[in-house]
Amino acid sequence: MTCDRMHPALIPLPPLLLLGTIWGATPAFVKHLGAIGWPPLLIATSAGVVSTLILFAVCRMRGIVVPATPAHLRHYAVSGLFGLALANLVGFTALQHVPAGFFSLLVPLSPMLTVLGAAMLGLERATRRRMLGTALGLAGVLLAMSPGAALPDPRVLPWALLAALTPVCYAASNLLAVRLAPRGAPPLALATGTLAAGTVQVAVFAALLGQLHLPPIDGLAISAAQGAVTALAFMIYFRSLGAHGGVVTSQTGYVVTLTGLAWGWALFGERPGWLTIPAAMLVFAGLALVTLPARKP
């Protein structure tokens, strides 16, 4: 069935499945490189450089200029700090200790916390349905941290709590990006500038923590692949935002959780406990209540 004949409700499905599969594989890249001796922030810096170069090349081929006015630079710096630098600092560090499958359960918290933060700032209406959805999502993550769920060893709980700061950083980036986004700039240009600024900030953090050095030859191909798929994910994400809106695009969280668990099982032999199933169901229910539009009477 071609896209021309596909049911309208199914048209966003292929790109969202691809996007969720890519993002679900990110923890697998990080854990693999970490296992062969790459420091967390070197992983983030290397992938960021590759992704930035690819997006700049795409912008050039399409004749898109990445603006460098003070307003644009402020947007890049703030969005890159929270959406890339700080998120990678806590996320990639925690992934050296927690399962990739558990990390994927945290991803849907980002849209939930974004909506909750928007309500607190007066940008969105805090409905009971959304508050209930956020509570269910948080309950799912707490259940995933309990014995018999996605964390095999209670001793890694502090690292799990550190990993939980990752969707907080993403939510802060979403809210600040909306506040600071200059009007009229192409989404791909904003994505490229944000990725470039975030990569520079990650490199600064890496240098301060002694993690910035020439990457080992072992793993260069994996790091390049991570950067390439990250660039592809950015392009799919912003294209989906423009074509289908934020609500539809946010449903990628379902796919990321499932593919993240699948990647963890296939590549690292992770065997989550039986409580992972109800934990994932709570996260899915919360995501649906927060992001899906209410039924019209």
pLDDT-derived band of residue 114, with 50, 70 and 90 as boundaries?
A: confident
pLDDT average, residue stretch 76-92: 92
Which has more pLDDT, 73 or 137? 73
pLDDT average, residue stretch 214-228: 90
Which has more pLDDT, 133 or 220? 220
Query: Contacts by 117-126 with C-beta closer than 8 Å and gap 24+?
Result: 117/171, 117/172, 117/175, 118/175, 121/175, 123/175, 123/178
pLDDT at 60: 94
pLDDT at 124: 67
pLDDT at 294: 60
Q: Map out the domains of the chain as residue ranges.
A: 37-291
Largest CA distance in the chain: 60
Residue 4 identity: D
CB atoms within 10 A of CB 269: 7
Segment (H or E) for 254: helix 252-268
Lowest mean pLDDT among 75-89, 188-202, 229-243: 229-243
Residue 6: is its pLDDT beyond 70? no
Q: Comparing C-alpha atoms, which of 211, 176, 145, 13 is closest to residue 82?
A: 176
Residue 56: is its pLDDT beyond 90? yes
pLDDT at 8: 44
pLDDT at 7: 45
- pTM of this prediction? 0.80
Mean pLDDT of the chain: 83
Alpha helices (H) along 36-107: 40-62, 70-80, 87-94, 100-106
Dig out the tokens for 276 from the structure.
């992972």
Q: Comparing C-alpha atoms, which of 50, 41, 40 is closest to residue 220?
A: 50
pLDDT average, residue stretch 270-288: 81
Residue 54: is its pLDDT beyond 90? yes
Residue 93 identity: T
pLDDT at 293: 64
Q: What are phi and psi of 12, to 5 degrees?
A: -70, -10
Segment (H or E) for 193: helix 187-208
Which residue has tokens 């390049």?
224
